[in-house]
Structure 1
Amino acid sequence: MSSHLIRNARPVPLAPGEQGVDRPVDVLVEDGTVTAVGPALDRPAGAVESDAQGRWLVPGLWDQHVHLGQWTLASQRLDLAAARSPEDATRMVADRIAEWPGHPVIGWGHRSGGWDRDVTVSELDAVSGDTPVVLISGDGHHAWLNTIALLHLALPVRDSVVREAEWFAAYARLSTLVGDDGTSPEAYRRTLEHAASLGVVGIVDFEFSGGAAEWAARWAAGADLLRIRMATYAESLEDVIGAGLRTGDVLPGGDERLRMGPLKIISDGSLNTRTAWCCEPYADAHRLEYPSGQPNLSGDELRALLARADACGLEVATHAIGDAAVAEALEAYAGTGARGSIEHAQMARREDVRRMAELGIRASIQPAHLLDDRDLTERIWGERSARCFAFRWMLDDGVELAMGSDAPVSALDPWLAIAAAVHRSADERDPWHPEHALTPREALAASTDGWGTVAPGHPGDLVLLDRDPIAPGSDPDSGSLAQQLRTMPVAATLVAGRVVHDDR
């Protein structure tokens, strides 16, 4: 690797109470690692030199929860985010079929949890005829298919949506319907280039399909711009173990930027699908087969998976959205000694937040979800909303925060997530439960994979910004701060000292 000397940068102080530098300094990256930070550093022979011109310098940003294949495909799908009823959705499907006759319709983003009735396959059949239609909900936990799509994906014909584990299994077969051109290495490369333009240097990939062999082929074909940690699921756990892969290992065919991530377990469902497992019933429990949601696997099954992964050197990322799911996951971590994270932790009791801290379990959070889930949460969880997205509890109780997007559920955009954590509102309304808001410094620190202020020994994953991200404007109002954060201009992004985005 070559050396890179960055002159005249302002390292942003990320530790609480830490002060920034009085004047710009130089930063030297050698063999992918920051080796020196200080004024007027000597330039090593052969080193690339660039001038930051007083810009602000932060560690590279990570998105700790991405379904990368689905996010790469999202731009080609029918966007149903604006659908406010089943009739809106079917009208949009009919328009797409009229515009592209004979082409399967894959939709994404509807939020049926806020609709006033359940949908049926027959009403989708009525507008689609022989054209396969698959409409994936905005939370990714269910899909509304027409009959021909059900048959094509080898699913039993029914008049209702396909949920949870049955849908996750069917999703892996979706390429048989639409092909995989949208997830070519070139398409992945474009996705990674866009992420780099936002200051992202690393992604934890929770895609359902794929695996080490696919990532090796993708990497060799040019999708090697950023750092990737590839997760696995229970179905492929034994294959990963058999290959001798542990969390942190370099994947075969990659380099030190392409590594093995955690085992991902989806222990419960989602808010929108009413399958998140809660301690108390939903407000509209009369509509539900399971009034409080339900777990996707038993406590014994959960503990067995954690124990197996831990014994073989794998961390565990446990999806738990409802408070009952969070409590059960923590019991499993405590009982097995496994390490890792709670993914989402959307609703939690204070005692469980404290236990998360005691066990050293990270909270992998997606603040932008609160923008989408605010109204539905108030409607079906009521006063429990006071302990939803409880970031302040987590931080104050000593839980390590790791921020991400859950793309495509939310956009792969760290500044959207940071702004949501700071302001907790996407419109003219006051922040939602502002007692749980983070400061810009806290939210940024939770987005850097645990790295603090840039210092010797850190990876050479660096981002230059045109504005100060922890004091981005003169108005201290959180709405003004959020607007400044959402539009944060990224001048340059480096991974292991190599420039992967430059807008200077």
Structure 2
Amino acid sequence: MGFFDWLSSGPEFARTGSNPADLVLVNGRVLTSDPGGRRVEAFAVRGGRFVYVGAEGGVGDYVGPDTEVIDAKDRVVTPGFIDSHCHLLWIGALGPVLSQDLYFCKDFDKATGIIRAHADRNPDLPFVFCMGWEQDLVPGGVVRKEDLDAVIPDRPLILWSECAHRGWVNSAALEHMRERNPKVFEQLYPVIGEDGEPTGEFLTFWFIDMWDFFTWDEIGEEMREKMLAGMADAVKMSLSLGVTAVDDVMVHRPFIPTILEFRRRGGFDDFRARGTFYVNHHMVKEEEWLRSFLAEWKDLGERESDARLVLGESIKMGTDGVAANHTAYLLEPYSDMPDSRGESSWTQEDFNRVVEIADGLGLQVCTHACGDAAIRMAVNGYESVAPAEGGLAMPHRVDHCSMPAREDIPRMGRLGICAAMQPTHFVSGPTDEKSLGPERIATTQPFRSLADAGVLIGFGSDYCAGPLNPVYGLLVAATRINYRMKVEWGPDEKIDIETAIRHWTIDSAKTMLMDAEIGSIEVGKQADFAVFGTDPLKLDSWWFLLTHKLEVGAMDDFVDLTYVGGKQAFRKE
């Protein structure tokens, strides 16, 4: 008898319980992520919430004639995973117009073939947009607009790097962007060549918004429908991986109506999302407008937020880039560029000012900060709104928090600053190792040190700059395996799998201000949970590492069932 035959039949119960529930799960290894870190065997759900969590012997009273009974057959059951930092809705919407087939492509000829094929499949789009480009595909590693003109000469071609922080365009795109929106064009920091003209490379491409340069009329209503369908596909993918809630941390103003339309069509019926509005460093120059809009953002949240979609509670800023392209802001120079420490997108004064405005409105601030100097700027800014005694009233976040200076870690703990981290970023690559050097890269992603200092850590994926599947992050957090598949960088910072699961469930919920409703299997909370067919607690065992393929995509079938609000949202075929 197969697993799903057991789901329909379940163990024998008299079905005469005096307190019948809609759903009962028994015979599970249930990791509750509750304050005590309990493991239990069973739970009951009624009205979308847990009404019993405990031993199997106590669940019989919740089994009535119509109660659905799941026999987990000793499988691991966890709260629904909560991704505290990703771009699921935004990238899902872009899916129909954005090719991601360049990821993992290591050959220039194949890459150009992928780009041209995407252009041929979408002849009506006013641009060709691809993500996952690596500049090393070009001999010498320097990509200029003329190189891309040879690939697509007659339409705007826009390439987004695999880390989403750099961009490259051909001549047609460069001229279109510069003419259509010169202000935003300059904000993306175009690289200027010796001839005084843009080369086609941009250094701060992470906040690229196509609607700054193209209109809905140009894209077309048919494509808008496909974008909504792309969002639905992204949600389905998430649920298949046991991820039941996300914080989409790159909400642009033009995208807000699309999110609301997606909800109107039922897109969040079996899923939860928080949208975090992106504030770039240029907006502070128009402070009154920014103050007014953030007040509107908060008002929008009060009008529109519900149990499935939360808006108007948080904003995102970014104090630097990433180490691979020398845009992370460091306290000491780069190992391979001794005359550069990178630079911040913000001045400390401007950053503090926006933190003050947001904190005054009751908005949580989530700051992209990778380098140690960038993290210090964020901590300084948060400290500026903290009371003289005690921690912050609002738990502001440092997102990524890749390499905090050792002296700043206890400051974060004392102030109550959260860290939203993505374990798979630890894997890094040769470029990261070269830029930071072997000693410094070993100190990145210090999970244990942060936790020991009392810093609340929420885990996430940074999808699509990392795999959405939490399994890969759990594996990396518990092993500290790097891109060479070796454990040689800061092995003392490893954490156990169950702790990593907590970071991806209840701790993520706390960093998103949603822990009263989700994140743990406790009586009264929303019944979001995942049933694993492959035991995640064995991810860091030598047996697992020797018997499983670890490449991205090979472990995407580990979840058998996902429930949201007590309703089945995914079932593996």
Query: Which TM-score band applies after superposition, normalised by the shorter structure?
Result: 0.7 to 0.9
1:427-455 deviations in Å (ceiling 9; x for gaps): 66312422222211111111104367622
Q: Is it true that 1:4 corresponds to 2:22 in the alignment?
A: yes
2:385 is matched with which residue? 336
After TM superposition, give the deviation of residue 233 of structure 1 in Å: 2.2
Contact preservation (8 Å) 1:186, 1:222 = no
Residues 428 and 143 (structure 1 numbering): CA distance in 2 closer, same or farther, change over 3 Å? Answer: closer
2:246 is matched with which residue? 203
After TM superposition, give the deviation of residue 282 of structure 1 in Å: 1.5
Residues 170 and 200 (structure 1 numbering): CA distance in 2 closer, same or farther, change over 3 Å? Answer: closer
1:244-266 deviations in Å (ceiling 9; x for gaps): 439xx5552x5321112411001
Spell out the pairing of 1:96-495 with structure 2 (5 A cutoff). Answer: 104-112=127-135, 116-153=140-177, 154=180, 158-164=198-204, 168-173=207-212, 176=215, 180-181=223-224, 184-209=227-252, 210=254, 212-224=256-268, 225-234=270-279, 238-242=292-296, 244-245=298-299, 252=304, 255-260=306-311, 261-285=313-337, 291-337=340-386, 339-371=395-427, 373-382=428-437, 383-425=439-481, 429-433=485-489, 434-450=491-507, 454-471=521-538, 475=542, 486=555, 489-495=558-564
1:283-315 deviations in Å (ceiling 9; x for gaps): 2327xxx81111111101111111111111111
Contact preservation (8 Å) 2:272, 2:309 = yes
The residue type equivalent to 2:71 in the other structure is: A
Residues 102 and 147 (structure 1 numbering): CA distance in 2 closer, same or farther, change over 3 Å? Answer: farther
The residue type equivalent to 1:50 in the other structure is: V
Contact preservation (8 Å) 1:251, 1:259 = no
Q: For structure 1, which segment, 265-274 or 313-322, has the greater mean C-alpha deviation from structure 2 after superposition?
A: 265-274
Question: What is the rounded CA distance, in whole Å, between the counterparts of 2:38 and 2:549 in structure 1?
Answer: 22
SS in 2 for 1:387: coil
**TM-score between the two structures when normalised by the length of structure 2:** 0.77
Question: What is the rounded CA distance, in whole Å, between the counterparts of 2:457 and 2:231 in structure 1?
Answer: 27
Residues 314 and 282 (structure 1 numbering): CA distance in 2 closer, same or farther, change over 3 Å? Answer: same
After TM superposition, give the deviation of residue 98 of structure 1 in Å: 7.0
SS in 2 for 1:389: coil
Task: Give the one of 61, 76, 79 matched to 1:59.
Answer: 79
After TM superposition, give the deviation of residue 17 of structure 1 in Å: 8.8
Question: What is the rounded CA distance, in whole Å, between the counterparts of 1:88 and 1:411 in structure 2?
Answer: 22
Contact preservation (8 Å) 2:108, 2:137 = no
After TM superposition, give the deviation of residue 408 of structure 1 in Å: 1.2
After TM superposition, give the deviation of residue 82 of structure 1 in Å: 3.5
Contact preservation (8 Å) 1:475, 1:481 = no
SS in 1 for 2:77: strand
Question: What is the rounded CA distance, in whole Å, between the counterparts of 2:29 and 2:53 in structure 1?
Answer: 10
1:30-67 deviations in Å (ceiling 9; x for gaps): 33321212333423779642313333221110111121
1:49 is matched with which residue? 68
Structure number with the bigger relative contact order (C-alpha 8 A, sep ≥ 6) is 1
Q: For structure 1, which segment, 258-267 or 89-98, has the greater mean C-alpha deviation from structure 2 after superposition?
A: 89-98
Residues 148 and 487 (structure 1 numbering): CA distance in 2 closer, same or farther, change over 3 Å? Answer: closer
Question: What is the rounded CA distance, in whole Å, between the counterparts of 1:483 and 1:368 in structure 2?
Answer: 12
**TM-score between the two structures when normalised by the length of structure 1:** 0.87
SS in 1 for 2:475: helix
Contact preservation (8 Å) 2:95, 2:230 = no
Question: What is the rounded CA distance, in whole Å, between the counterparts of 1:274 and 1:479 in structure 2?
Answer: 36
2:572 is matched with which residue? 503
RMSD: 3.3
Structure 2 residue runs without a partner (length 5+)? 1-19, 186-196, 284-289, 387-393, 508-514
After TM superposition, give the deviation of residue 468 of structure 1 in Å: 3.6
Q: For structure 1, which segment, 310-319 or 230-239, has the greater mean C-alpha deviation from structure 2 after superposition?
A: 230-239
Identity %: 25
Contact preservation (8 Å) 2:460, 2:504 = yes
The structure that has the greater radius of gyration is 2
Question: What is the rounded CA distance, in whole Å, between the counterparts of 1:455 and 1:184 in structure 2?
Answer: 36
The residue type equivalent to 2:261 in the other structure is: A
Contact preservation (8 Å) 1:172, 1:208 = no
Question: What is the rounded CA distance, in whole Å, between the counterparts of 1:275 and 1:487 in structure 2?
Answer: 32
SS in 2 for 1:285: coil
The residue type equivalent to 1:256 in the other structure is: A
